[in-house]
Amino acid sequence: GNSVTQMEGPVTLSEEAFLTINCTYTATGYPSLFWYVQYPGEGLQLLLKATKADDKGSNKGFEATYRKETTSFHLEKGSVQVSDSAVYFCALSDLQRDSSYKLIFGSGTRLLVRP
Amino acid sequence: EAQVTQNPRYLITVTGKKLTVTCSQNMNHEYMSWYRQDPGLGLRQIYYSMNVEVTDKGDVPEGYKVSRKEKRNFPLILESPSPNQTSLYFCASSFRRQGANEKLFFGSGTQLSVL
């Protein structure tokens, strides 16, 4: 079945460092790919998405490119801030038999940014 | 304010005592879903609903029930909770009945402990 694999955390960085969180997927067909972010004590929020190969999703300085040839959707940010400390989830949309879509999540990567 | 509201935020109960976690959205969304979040496993779908009176099982439905009598409400029912249902639960919704191929809006979560 379809699945998502993320790098294990926690990832600890100093403020203004470059961030990469790796995400690879296994899927039949061409799913949409997502990054969701979970700040402490809150629910998940959509950070960015890409719907087809070579699409780049971007938001709040974060970027991720849908790479079909490497089945990857790595999250990057050029200069992280303390406020970016959160758990980041990579996900793909999985088409079900009833034509609904389900999100399949990776296990999440905790990012801690130190001042 | 557009939101998904879950209650309660925290719940401690004992094995076998029936409980209900409520979920309500004020965005007139068609699709609603319940997830549980466990360390190292990411989020896994419990049940989902594509419309009023239409519900279906997700990946981990055992021990749970849901109902969708009104569009805005989607309660999660544990008839006889067991310790392996100790988890962080999230309700989510999206505009289209097809669900998660577009943005999902999440509630703030319910931390359940079953003793």
Residues of A in contact with B45 (CB under 8 A): 102-103
**CB A33 within 8 Å of CB A64:** yes
**CB B54 within 8 Å of CB B74:** no
- A57 CB neighbour count, 10 Å cutoff: 21
- Answer whether B57 touches A (CB < 8 Å): no
Q: What is the pLDDT of residue B97?
A: 67
Question: Which of B10, B24, B25, B43 would best serve as a mutation to test chain A binding (most A beta carbons within 10 A)?
Answer: B43
Q: Determine the 3-state secondary structure of B93 from DSSP.
A: strand
- pLDDT tens digits, B76-110: 999 999 999 999 999 999 987 676 677 899 999 99
Residues of A in contact with B90 (CB under 8 A): 43-44
Which of A99, A69, A104 is closest to A89 using CA atoms?
A104
- Rounded distance between C-alpha atoms, residue B70 and residue B84, angstroms: 30
Q: What is the pLDDT of residue B38?
A: 92
Which of B83, B89, B100, B114 is closest to B38 using CA atoms?
B89
Which residue of B42, B45, B98 is in closest CB contact with A89? B42
- Rounded distance between C-alpha atoms, residue B49 and residue B58, angstroms: 10
- pLDDT tens digits, A17-45: 999 999 999 998 889 999 999 998 888 99
Percent of chain A with pLDDT over 70: 100
Percent of chain A with pLDDT over 90: 78
In this predicted structure, the answer to whether residue A79 has a pLDDT above a threshold of 90 is yes
Q: What's at A100, amino acid-wise?
A: S
